[in-house]
Amino acid sequence: MQPGINVRLFCIGYLLLITYALTVQNNPSRLQKNVLFDWSFSTENQYPLLGNGESGEDLNWRGGRLSDNGLSDKVQWDNSTLYIDGQKVFIYSGEFHYWRIPVPDLYLDIFQKLRATGYNAVSIYFHWGFHNPAEGVWDFETGAHDLQPIFNAAKTAGLWIIARPGPYIHAETTAGGLPGWLIQLPQIEVRTNGTKYTEYWKAYIERIGPIIARNQIGSYGTGTVILAQIENEYYWGGGFKYEGADEYMAMLSHAYRSAGILVPIFHNDVGMARSWLPKNYPSILDIYGLDTYPRGFDCDDPLRHFHIRTDYYNYFKRWYPNGPQFTPEFQGGAFDPWGGPGYEKCADMVGTSFVNVYYKNNIAQRFTMMNIYMAFGGTNWGYLLTPVVYTSYDYGAGISEGRLIRDKLNEGKLIALFLRTMDSLLHADLIGNTSGPSGGSQYSSNPAVYITELHNQKSDTRYYIIRHTDTNSLDDQTFDLRIQTASGEEQLRHLLLQRRESKILITSYSAGGHQILYSTVELLTWQTIDGVDTLFYVTDDRDHVQEIAFISEDDEIDVQLRHQGIKSANITVKNNIVTLLFTSEPGHNITSIRVSNTLHVISFNKASAYKFWAPVLREGPGKVNLQDQVLVHGPYLVRNATVDGSVLHLVGDINQDTSLHLWVTARFNKVRWNGKDLHLEEGPFMSRQATLRGPDEAKVILPCLNTTETEWKVMDSLPEIEIEYDDSKWVVARNSSTNEAFPPITLPCLYAGEYGFHTGTVIYRGRFNISQTGIITGVHLEIWGGTAFGYSAWLNGKYVTSQPGNAWSERFVDDWSFAPDQFKEGENVLVILSDSNGYDRDNGVTFFDDHTTKKPRGIKSVILLGTERVEFTSWKLQGNAGGEKYDDAVRAPYNEDGLYAVRVGAHFPGFEDAAISSGSPMEGFPGAGIKFYRTTVNITYPLDYDVPLAFFLEMPQDTQSRVQLFVNGYQMGRYVNHIGPQSVFPVYPGIINRGENVIGLAVWGMHEPDEGKRFQFTRLSLEAMNIFITGYGEVSGEGLITGLPQGRGKHAVRVKDIAQEDQN
């Protein structure tokens, strides 16, 4: 089968399995329905609301009494929403993994982008293995291991934190975040109440817990942590349950409390599995949440399966009626496997239409706490990955791996700004929908349109969430809508719902001094500016009549109707109800209508609305007062706004010449952009306007990596294949194995992890003796490395074979033959070089197999084949320098593997390369083996520029190779040209910087190419993904770019100097 087909079958299979796990058990028909069909929900025949379990009081969606955990009243909740400092809030959070962006100075960059696009919280997985590289060794201080910069950056940006320290996190990272050394221990049963596992995770929580506690909200902390999660997706049901699960979860919760964490504790249920409901575990959990990925993980066809889930509301009403609806992981993209279609396809699959329809569907079903997984994915630098993913963890997220804002992030911003505006939504009841007893007729005569009605009785505001009945449809629909307003029923005619679109239309809400009865356009936000209520709307791009109606209490209405960008406009007044009808002029992105001296209406089309920003004039997180917003249009990004007397300071980014429009009060007599005074003029749309000059590309000078302008050095990185190589300092394989789940077939055990080597490439040297040639014909080998791994073998310095790997095999069982001229009488040396792609996650949840983290990395069986039985006399192996004794604490423990050039430190700044020969990766080399290329380059651009950079790598498709990319000592990419899909590798400032940078390429050729072919690059470049003038400031890499560790010379070649092979 073709690799692409296999990858897609894997993804579909994985989705089906996880869907089963997410489904309520003992209902076989439900799996088929969930995967293949649209869902519906109704207010009819809903599950009855349950009492609170204490007083028997029935609660409802308008809010009941406030609950807390008895430890802190800073975070409370009712049956509808969360309260922080006594104020109800809609939690709009984004997932972020600091260990996937190892530059602390960039945390604030990501957090400011999230805050600017409407997020008010960030969710963070903390990675046990990243901080505990060896038994008894802890690092919460060095480089990206220092956690305090994360908490500081979130507080500065104005984001609450949802802390998720595990100890198991899944997260498509090696061993699901568990340390590599831990899973090698004999009799270890992870994620259970086992004595050994308990001892080790308690040591972790005892260290990370107080750090989180110091940064929690309230009198016991000085930070913004509002919630803490124990474990992750710890499913039980369908006959499967981890050993001692109840005790394990109880011990975890108690350990959090003992560490000083007082905020509410929750668990992230794997779908609607009903695992760990707080009512069943009142002393363990405070709040319930579930994760949901309704579009799955197959990004190959972004248009497929656009079916929403509509059973969330019923589920929460039955199983968790006394708390807010919370999804700690709602789909924000998808991970992409080796050989997959690439993350741009994932970004398309979970793109702007997904955000528009699926997020609003969540609102319709009464979610008030939503964490988007991922908001920024980052990079699996080094060997952070688990085998299901490759170097990039872009995830198709709103912020790309290269820190660029995708349109989907701005689409979410439009919803977030609306949520910021509509406080009454948090306690609005679901009172009807198209599935009700009258069908859709009470709302619309078009059955292809589905309407949900929410109503807040206190404010009398109603929300009509409109979507296609078949959300997978690619058709547009015209429909009428019957609505209720403060003045009675209204019938709105000839409304347009475009394909894969949803709308929220609201009735009877106050905006300053005006009561808005209804509108056919979606509200974005509003603000009273110098006595004028200014309303901002988002319209479609069609030549379509829009309608807004409001109540005026004035006896005589002064209608001015000054407008711009309007094709036609008409206003009528009847019984103090003012109705405005208007059509936008084609080609105008912004329209403006000054209805009266006290009312101004501005509308944006979608593309223009993406450039609208509303930074808040306040420090720290908290509920937003609309009058504290600063309303700006034009820049790529507005990071924040501050006030100094009558001076307004704006900080942001631009990537081109930009017209900046401001709608602000006249009290600001001066405005500064990135510290520079703006020349403001009266602009269109009743705004104040200034021009911002974009960056000058000529000021960005990048090296050309594929010409003679850049001098490359090259060294052989596989001296170990030579029979004379001195391996006396290597680890001798003697173990009988501690892996009960996957025991080796032959001994000694050759699992790399059992000797302290947990990352990447490991080299084995096996010796055997023969008295005469011909009695040994080959080898039988079983070897494990995870999906997309490969290996190569040499006998007595001569190439034997390779298994280049593919996108679906996690192990290989191969027989291969030796050529007669490869033997010699006496001692022979077989060298096997094997790659690996991290440890598997624990798949007890999805495949009901709770030992998958124990899947070995290395040789399970190796047997000499021939006419006589000959045994290996010894085996030695070598992985990363020092094994679990890391000499590079900043980049440890996942950065390095066992390649010779890496062990001697050729990838570090400070490595002496004067004696190494010149050679370009564009010229390459002709035979199977490994070469390491190294160069030093300079990068120049102005201090106030942000230039996201990426390396572009391509090699001929008729060759099979593996490449590691190093930048200033960091392994930032693994390119496997015959598997793919990744060929573009972003690298963060702080790792690659203005000035001098050391670049390294380890190229592993995995076969003997056809005559005239070489392992060489056809494309090798460093390019800017975009260029910005920014007010963020220079990104510091202080403490991150360390030089060559002492003692690496001991790994250099001994006995003789093995000369470099002829490059010709």
Active site residues: 233, 329
Residue 946 CA: distances (Å) to CA of 115, 292, 969: 19, 35, 22
Q: How far apart are CA 436 and CA 578, in angstroms?
A: 33
Tell me which residue has tokens 């090699």.
955
Q: How far apart are CA 133 and CA 196, in angstroms?
A: 17
User: What is the sign, positive or negative, of the torsion defined by CA atoms of 749, 751, 752, 754?
Assistant: negative
Q: How far is CA 781 from the centre of its chain?
A: 37
Answer yes or no: are the C-beta atoms of 161 and 224 closer than 8 Å: yes
- Helix or strand run (H / E) with residue 110: helix 107-116
Q: How far apart are CA 460 and CA 507, in angstroms?
A: 8
State whether residue 312 is helix, strand or coil: helix
Q: How many CA atoms lie within 13 A of 849 on its CB side?
A: 13
State whether residue 754 is helix, strand or coil: helix
Largest CA distance in the chain: 114
- For strands 367-373 and 325-331, give the pairing: parallel
Residue 345 CA: distances (Å) to CA of 351, 394, 412, 787: 9, 11, 19, 21
Edge-first strand listing for the sheet containing 681-682: 612-613, 631-633, 658-663, 688-692, 681-682
Task: Supply 319's token pair.
Answer: 């199983």
Task: Supply 920's token pair.
Answer: 């370009």
Provide φ and ψ at 1053, rounded to 5°.
-60, 135
Burial 509-521 (b: 16+ CB within 10 A, else e): bebbebbbbbbbb
Answer yes or no: are the C-beta atoms of 160 and 150 closer than 8 Å: no
- For strands 750-751 and 791-795, give the pairing: unpaired
Q: How far apart are CA 733 and CA 876, in angstroms?
A: 5
Q: Give the residue from 339, 409, 330 showing the smallest Cα distance to 369.
A: 330
- For strands 1028-1030 and 945-946, give the pairing: antiparallel
- For strands 731-732 and 945-946, give the pairing: unpaired
Answer yes or no: are the C-beta atoms of 97 and 137 closer than 8 Å: no
State whether residue 324 is helix, strand or coil: coil
- For strands 121-125 and 91-96, give the pairing: parallel
Q: How far apart are CA 289 and CA 80, in angstroms?
A: 13
Provide φ and ψ at 491, rounded to 5°.
-115, 115
Q: Give the residue from 873, 907, 874 showing the smallest Cα distance to 888.
A: 907
State whether residue 611 is helix, strand or coil: coil
Provide φ and ψ at 563, rounded to 5°.
-145, 160
Count CB atoms within 10 A of the CB of residue 538.
Answer: 20
Separation of first and last alpha carbons in the chain = 37
Q: How many CA atoms lie within 13 A of 892 on its CB side?
A: 24
Q: What is the CA radius of gyration of the chain?
A: 31
Strand positions, DSSP E, 486-552:
488-497, 503-507, 509-511, 514-519, 522-529, 532-539, 546-551
